[in-house]
């Protein structure tokens, strides 16, 4: 599941998806790319905001977007991560982040874990955009997140 859908800003029903997976003994894969750094306690994402991050087997995120650098991560059981390493052809032929980018990403993560100011400003900007679009009668898809998709 993609917690915040990149094209229209909807938030996935993560609790319901988690419940279905539990009932059927299924693994879960959560894409928090458009949520990390921007939502939840310490910027940990939508699942953390809803208190259900531990319900997901694998969580993927990015160091771009909310953290402003480049690269990404995948977190989960060691066996799953090792399988991804072994069978992801594109991963095998890439190199690690340069030290300067890794340091920048680490600094951004540390900062956003301790600061709410950026998340508050992001939400304030999104609400302003939603209000201005509504006032002008310009339709948009969702007001749940910072992603504002205007219908043209």
Catalytic (active-site) positions: 65
Helix, coil or strand: residue 131: helix
Q: Which helix (H) or strand (E) holds 30?
A: strand 29-31
Strands 29-31, 58-62: parallel, antiparallel or unpaired by DSSP? parallel
Alpha carbon distance 9, 147 (integer Å): 5
| Exposure string for 11-44, b = 16+ CB within 10 A, e = fewer | bbebeebbeebeeeeeebbbbbbbbbbbbbeebb
Q: Which residues contact 108 (CB under 8 A, 6 or more apart)?
A: 37, 63, 67, 68, 69
């Amino acid at each position: 599941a993609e917690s915040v859908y990149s094209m229209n800003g909807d938030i996935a029903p993560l609790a319901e998806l988690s419940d279905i997976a539990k009932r059927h003994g299924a693994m879960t894969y959560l894409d928090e790319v458009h949520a990390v750094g921007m939502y939840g306690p310490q910027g940990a994402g939508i699942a953390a905001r809803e208190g259900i991050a531990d319900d997901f087997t694998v969580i993927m995120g990015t160091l771009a977007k909310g953290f402003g650098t480049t690269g990404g991560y995948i977190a989960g059981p060691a066996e799953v991560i090792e399988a991804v390493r072994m069978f992801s052809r594109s991963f095998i032929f890439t190199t690690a982040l340069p030290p300067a980018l890794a340091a920048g990403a680490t600094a951004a993560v540390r900062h956003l874990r301790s600061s709410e100011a950026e998340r508050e400003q992001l939400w304030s900007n999104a609400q302003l955009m939603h209000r201005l679009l509504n006032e002008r009668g310009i339709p948009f898809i969702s007001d749940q997140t910072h992603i504002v998709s205007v219908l043209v």
